[in-house]
Structure 1
Amino acid sequence: MRLAIAGGGLGGLTLARILHRHGIDAVVYEREANRSARSQGGSLDLHPESGQRALAEAGLAGRFRSQARPEGEEHRILDPAGRTLVHHTPDPGSFSGRPEIDRRALRDLLLDSLPGDAVAWGHRLVAATPRPDGGFVLTFHGGHRAECDLLVGADGARSVVRSLLTDARLSYVATLVELSISDADRRHPDIAELVGPGNLWCIGANLILAAQRLGDGSIRVGFSVRAEDRDVDTYRTKRDLLDLFDGWDPRLTALIEAGDSAPTPRRIEAMPIGTRWAHRPGLTLIGDAAHLMPPVGEGANQAMLDAAELAGALAADPADPDSAIRAYEEAMFARTHRIAEMSARVQAMMLSPTAADDIVRFFTARPTEPAPAE
């Protein structure tokens, strides 16, 4: 059985690793030229029941603990005047919660666990054509082709593989604008102290300014606004951003002023809650390709759990992969429906006129609920 995984993100690599442990070979086709081709974003909080469980099944729990940062769970929530509303401090050195790890570190950990030829770099999938006798012909940018008997779409929000299973359309739910502050402890010690070792949220009406400490000492800054407020191209300069935060405590707006480069805005999109598809032999989806949600801390965790459950099903019944896929899909649909509903509620709450009161109640009652670490 020739198994192809479209997409070398955390879900695709986790799937390849667990399959490899079970003696099942797979090729990961990744559009990037190499592992260092682009920034991998910020930090993730890995949940025990999903992301950490997947790493345990991948045989990588020990390596994860050697690189994760339990102190990164520290979470501060402030109002626009800089007053502290919530300050959650984790138990020192404890891995019982949701320790943070940089996306790049986690991706490298997974890549290092795979054979050198498991990832085909520079392969951007543009089409997957069914073969008459089953399986697919994969066509990549530049004209290169490959064939497979089983295709797993782990190719993210703009999945090419998804169109073979469903015509679900993405909806625009928010705008996220990001900046980065390098070497914060030395260059901006006041900002470094304000952010602390984990996550900082500053909550206003209909917008959130957030900052997150990374393992290399840099700070990732982002702010989110509702989708309908302004066009994304109106957030291209620091001046544009500072106008939005007029009247906020200068300690908070300093997060924007200290950014090393121009702001990078992007649209945040989501799939319809409850998206399903009819089973199709030799084909399935995991992660954002299957259930794109707002970035409130579940996306990577669910992608990795998808990978673990699919790999487990295929390893348990390698002679009947279609039965394994059916079982995986039914369980995944049920699990992610509830999580997608929760993610949509949290996203709406974070960008509401009463966000500060709502979020304080939420975290006071359920202090371990997800933070937007995507």
Structure 2
Amino acid sequence: MITIIGGGPGGLTLARVLHVHGIDAVVYERDASRAARTQGGMLDLHTETGQAALQAAGLESEFLAAARREGQDQRMMDHTGALLLQQDTPDDAPMARPEIDRSDLRDLLVDSLPAEAISWGRAFSHAEPRSSGYVVHFTDGSSVETDLLVGADGANSRVRRLLTDAEPTYAGSTSLQSIIHDADRTQPELAEMVGRGNFWVFGPGDLRLSAQRNGDGTIRVSLSMRGPEGVLDEETDAAALVDGWDPRFGQLVRACDEPFVVRQIAVLPIGLTWPRRSGVTLLGDAAHLMPPMGEGANAAMLDGAELALAIAAHPDDLDAAVAVYEPAMQARTAEAAEDSAKAMEMISGPGAAQKVLRFFQPDLVD
């Protein structure tokens, strides 16, 4: 038996690719159901990582039907309202990095699995080693025996503690995040300004405003700032942060119809490894938490696919499968984490707008 803790993109991809190869696994997810909470914003799935994983899962056509090509659009302004960059995606453009709502991706993966492959409302408590594998305990008092325990349980993984003492640390950036619902109807002028994809405004100093169009008609709005922990908190007046900017940006912040929530960016050490241990491994944020620059979910899904393929190649020797998977995953995601750290540095601090412009249009910027 293979036990997967966590029903995010990585854990579900692992279960699906195993299912394709006729190998049983159960995902244990703490959410009571797929609809228990919102799943966040959009994900851009890259051809060489997230989309490659969906190909291995036999779900490429379903993904392309649900993904938004226009979500690749990009607009960038400075705080005075000057347009710095606009890249609109042609209708026949390649689906290199199309966006998909997290909820749509989760539904796609959940629907591809038999009902018994996911156990909802089961939060991991701890695990005890046995002669082969583990006894896995849940907070409801239940337990299961497993030959391989896979921690796909995110940034604050409890499974990770079986392998390493490493814990996430603050990466020096904090965001305030909220949502505008039904934006085309309630805020048509602001919706037109944001456009169909990603929208950025670079302010003076370390403040950055961003917005993202979602397929369900919402716009997710974020204000991000570098600084010590607590640089932004629940008491921060989000609209006051953009006083003196083009008035449209204050309108965008005030149009949000849910309370702003604080998100502190945390990371694991780049290149984290651990001594191999029989019967347990990690994937996704549990193994390589990195800045949210578009690589994390893609890496997690490829982790899941590659682990499943290693198991399919060594179905009678799970430790051998993990021995193939872990070093390749760690090397690959160390590079992705390094790139993500560089990207976060690029979009932060004085001169960020010019650095981003050089990235997207190197021939047009001095």
Shift of 1:319: 1.5
Offset at residue 226 of structure 1 (A): 1.4
Q: Deviations over 1:308-328 (max 9, x none)?
A: 111111101111211111111
Which residue number in structure 2 is paired with residue 155 of structure 1? 153
After TM superposition, where is structure 1 displaced by more than 2 Å over at least 4 residues in a row?
93-96, 229-233
Moved more, 167-176 or 305-314: 167-176
Q: 2:343 aligns with which of 346, 350, 360?
A: 346
Secondary structure of 2:257's match? coil
d(CA) in 1 for partners of 2:283, 2:304: 7
- The answer to whether the Cα contact below 8 Å between 1:236 and 1:264 also exists between their aligned partners in 2 is no
Contact 1:30 1:124 in 2 (8 A): yes
Counterpart for residue 168 of structure 1: 166
What CA RMSD, in Å, does the superposition of the two structures yield over aligned residues? 1.5
Give the distance between the partners of 2:7 and 2:76, measured in 1 at CA.
Answer: 34
Change (3 A) 1:315 1:269: same
Displacement after TM superposition at 1:227 (Å) = 4.0
Structure 2 match to 1:27? 26
Aligned partner letter, 2:289? L
| 1:292-315 alpha-carbon deviations (Å, 9 max, x no partner) | 000000111000000111111110
- Output the amino acid matched with 1:111: V
Alignment-derived partner of residue 142 in structure 1: 140
Q: Provide structure 2 residue ranges, at least 5 long, that are not aligned to the other structure.
A: none
The alpha-carbon deviation at position 229 of structure 1 amounts to 6.5
> Which residue number in structure 2 is paired with residue 224 of structure 1?
224
Contact 2:177–2:261, Cα closer than 8 Å, also in 1: yes
AA aligned opposite 2:169: S
CA distance in 1, matches of 2:296, 2:225: 19
What secondary structure is seen at the aligned counterpart in 1 of 2:38? Answer: coil
In 1, Cα distance between equivalents of 2:222 and 2:243: 17
Q: Match of 1:357?
A: 354
Partner residue in 2 for 1:293: 290
Alpha-carbon distance in structure 2 between the residues aligned to 1:289 and 1:366: 39
Q: Residues of 2 paired with 1:284 and 1:138: CA distance?
A: 14
**1:190-217 alpha-carbon deviations (Å, 9 max, x no partner):** 1110111101011122121111111111
Query: Taking structure 2 as the reference length, what is the TM-score of the superposition?
Result: 0.96
1:79-90 map, 5 Å? 79-90=78-89
Partner of 1:328: 325
2: CA distance between counterparts of 1:293 and 1:8? Answer: 19
After TM superposition, list the pairs within 5 Å mapping 1:62-211 onto structure 2. 62-131=61-130, 133-173=131-171, 174-204=173-203, 205-211=205-211
Tell me, yes or no, if structure 1 residue 305 matches structure 2 residue 308.
no
Asked whether the equivalents of residues 236 and 263 of structure 1 are also in contact (C-alpha less than 8 Å), the reply is no
* Shift of residue 189, structure 1, vs aligned partner: 0.4
88-97 or 305-314: bigger deviation: 88-97
Seq. identity, %: 53
Q: C-alpha displacement at 1:93, in angstroms?
A: 4.0
Structure 1: unaligned runs, 5 residues or longer: 368-374
Distance 1:127 1:232 in 2: 34
